[in-house]
C-alpha cells in the first residue's frame, strides 16, 4: 500500500450502497492511494472510475488533491468522474436522477 493512502470520504458507503442497489459491482480502490480513484464500478457492461468527494463539506475541502489531479491528468483510459453524492453516482452510471423524497 502506498504511504499516501488516503481517508475514505464519509459519504462513500452511501455511494457504494446506491450503486449496488442498481445491480452494479463496486470495488473500492481507496487503499491504493497515490491519487488512484476511489471506486471501480461495473454496470451493464460498462466500467466507471469514480472519485468520491463529500458534497456536504465546504468547497475548498472537495478539491482534488495534488496526487489525484496528477493521476487524472496522466490517465489514458476512459474518464474518471468526480461524484459528491449517491445521486451523482447513480446519474453517472444510469443517466437518471434520483428524486428526493420529502419525509
> Domain range for residue 75?
12-94
End-to-end CA distance of the chain: 42
Is residue 102, in this structure, part of any structural domain at all? Answer: no
Q: How many domains does the chain have?
A: 1
- Identify whether 83 is part of a domain: yes
76 assigned to some structural domain: yes
In a domain, 73, yes or no: yes
Closest among 35, 67, 63 to 49, alpha carbons compared: 35
Contacting residues for 11 by C-beta, under 8 A, at least 6 apart: 52, 54, 55, 56, 84, 85, 86
CATH number at residue 46: 3.40.1350.10
Kindly give the confidence (pLDDT) of every residue in the chain, 103 residues in length, as a single tens digit, with 9 standing for 90 and above.
444 445 777 889 999 999 999 999 999 998 898 999 999 999 999 999 999 998 888 888 889 999 999 999 999 999 999 999 999 999 999 987 766 544 4
DSSP labels, the chain: --TT--PPPTTHHHHHHHHHHTT-EEEE-GGG-TT--SEEEEETTEEEEEEE--TTS-GGGSSPPHHHHHHHHH--SS-EEEESSHHHHHHHHHS-PPPP---
On whether residue 71 sits in a domain, the answer given is yes
Cell of 20: 449496488
pTM equals 0.83
Amino acid at each position: 500500500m502506498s504511504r499516501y493512502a488516503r481517508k475514505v470520504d464519509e459519504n462513500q458507503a452511501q455511494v457504494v450502497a446506491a450503486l449496488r442497489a442498481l445491480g452494479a459491482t463496486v470495488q473500492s480502490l481507496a487503499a491504493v492511494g497515490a491519487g488512484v480513484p476511489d471506486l471501480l464500478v461495473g454496470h451493464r457492461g460498462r466500467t466507471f472510475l469514480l472519485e468520491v468527494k463529500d458534497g456536504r463539506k465546504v468547497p475548498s475541502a472537495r478539491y482534488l488533491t495534488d496526487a489525484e489531479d496528477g493521476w487524472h491528468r496522466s490517465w489514458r483510459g476512459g474518464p474518471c468522474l468526480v461524484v459528491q453524492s449517491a445521486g451523482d453516482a447513480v446519474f453517472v452510471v444510469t443517466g437518471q436522477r434520483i428524486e428526493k423524497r420529502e419525509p
